[in-house]
DNA sequence: GCAAGAAGTGAACCACCATTCAGTCCTTGC
DNA sequence: GCAAGGACTGAATGGTGGTTCACTTCTTGC
């Protein structure tokens, strides 16, 4: 027994792994999933193509993790912004503003995360992304209903529908090119009506 | 000059073309886009693989047309149902019911049309599909606003958001497997609230 | 019936790209 | 310094499935 991986090596390995994920994310943000060949990711990460497979069994596994990471980051940002608000109406407003703002700031990435054609195994990860948003919103809606701020409704359904409305309102502009944030206030008004926020 | 295509031949050609499109649609309804190799489509249509390319320059062109056809059929059905109603509220209810009902009756096809990963060129066709629904709904909303039935709002945005809400509410169930139509009344309630239909 | 030319065929081709693997370089513990 | 074994490399491999094309079959007008 003359070799047993040590802390230093483990750290280097995990650094490599992170670099690969970061490279994949960077390419997605620049050229979408379509630009993400394994070779391109490896080159950007500064490793050989084959080395990618020391960390991930398949490309789909890699990108499942990439999507998970990126989605978590998005959901966290949205949750953080919403947590600063007190009423369901304001919490949901914060969700919409943060979500849209970030999407408009990184349109290529947003498009890749939301709607770009990807490997089915990666696509599955998107469902959990959307689910995470829906769960977040459902919590605010449920609290709003409980406190009487909002009329009775199924928070799950409301949340799912809101996520769809939000995504759809963004995807059009994202696919078309430049997207003006002009519609965001209108979108918030729509969503408040949908929630039953009393004016 | 000893050959000039005649009516009879033209008819046969266009019949072939239609059979190919129908075959593609049938396979989509059964096995999704994933099952639609050119060879499979050709076999089902009763022609040789190469013959497909006498009618369509690429697979993407073929499926762009398949999507266009299928989408038009869906939009027409929805429009026909909505046209029977008089108020914006009822028209939109009819849209939701017809859309959901048809989707739940052909879940595999609905999933393929709405959300299954496809070639980017085909994906582009989906935008026009959603746009068609949005335009339809926008018309009803605009009329409702004009007549005072609905509060002032941007009909385009409302319609886009509604399409998103509708699609999202269906995609979850469609991807998961069996979908109960149980949530449709709730969905209609949500949408009426979103439109500002007075109770 | 025949020549001209189009339609139809399907096996072969080929581009693409994820994945592999034999060889090389590093790290470790003694 | 050295043996053991892991990490790393990147050119070669292989599978998939869209696309082609030399050939056959059918249509047409005379």
A124 in the same domain as A101: yes
Domain that holds residue B156: 60-195
Q: What is the pLDDT of residues B66-93, one digit of tens each?
A: 999 999 999 999 999 999 999 999 999 9
- Closest nt to B43 (CA→C1')? C10
Task: Please name the residues between 129 and 168 in chain A that touch chain B, using a CB distance below 8 Å.
Answer: 130, 151, 153-154, 157-158, 160-168
CATH of the domain at B77: 1.10.357.10
Question: Nearest by CB to A194, which of B154, B163, B193?
Answer: B193
A70 in the same domain as A19: no
B90 in the same domain as B23: no
Asked if B195 has any chain A CB less than 8 Å from its own CB, the reply is yes
Question: Dihedral of the CA atoms A58, A62, A64, A67 (nearest 10)?
Answer: -160
Inside any domain, residue B150: yes
A120 in the same domain as A173: yes
Q: What is the pLDDT of residues B23-44, one digit of tens each?
A: 999 999 999 999 999 999 999 9
CATH of the domain at B14: 1.10.10.60
Q: How many domains does chain A have?
A: 2
Q: Cα(A180)–Cα(A167) distance, rounded to whole angstroms?
A: 15
pLDDT over threshold 80, residue B172 = no
B97 in the same domain as B23: no
pLDDT reported for residue B97? 95
pLDDT over threshold 60, residue B183 = yes
CA–CA min distance B161, chain A (Å) = 4
Give the residue nearest to nucleotide C20 (CA to C1'): A50
Query: Taking a C-beta distance cutoff of 8 angstroms, is the pair B144, B150 a contact?
Result: yes
Helix, strand, coil tally for chain B in percent (to 5):
80, 0, 20
Question: Nearest by CB to A161, which of B34, B187, B196?
Answer: B187
A191 in the same domain as A100: yes
A28 contacts: CB under 8 Å, gap ≥ 6: A35, A36, A66, A70, A108, A109, A112
- From first to last of its 199 residues, chain A has per-residue pLDDT tens of 555 567 777 888 899 999 999 999 999 999 999 999 999 999 999 999 999 999 999 999 999 999 999 999 999 999 999 999 999 999 999 999 999 999 989 999 999 998 888 988 898 899 888 999 999 999 999 999 999 999 999 999 999 999 999 999 988 777 666 556 678 899 999 999 999 998 7
């Amino acid at each position: 027994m003359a070799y047993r991986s040590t802390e230093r090596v483990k750290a280097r390995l995990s650094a490599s792994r992170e670099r690969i994920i970061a490279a994949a994310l960077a390419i997605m943000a620049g050229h979408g999933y379509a630009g993400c060949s394994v070779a391109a990711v490896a080159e950007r990460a500064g490793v050989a193509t084959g080395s990618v497979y020391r960390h991930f069994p398949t490309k789909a596994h890699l990108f499942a993790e990439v999507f998970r990471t990126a989605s978590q980051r998005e959901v966290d940002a949205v949750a953080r912004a919403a947590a600063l608000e007190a009423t369901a109406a304001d919490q949901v407003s914060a969700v919409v503003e943060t979500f849209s703002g970030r999407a408009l700031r990184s349109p290529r990435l947003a498009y890749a995360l939301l709607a770009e054609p990807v490997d089915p195994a990666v696509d599955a990860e998107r469902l959990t992304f959307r689910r995470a948003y829906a769960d977040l919103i459902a919590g605010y809606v449920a609290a709003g209903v409980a406190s009487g701020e909002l009329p009775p409704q199924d928070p799950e359904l409301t949340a799912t529908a809101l996520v769809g409305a939000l995504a759809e309102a963004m995807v059009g502009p994202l696919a078309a090119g430049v997207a003006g944030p002009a519609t965001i206030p209108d979108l918030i008004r729509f969503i408040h009506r949908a929630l039953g926020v009393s004016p």
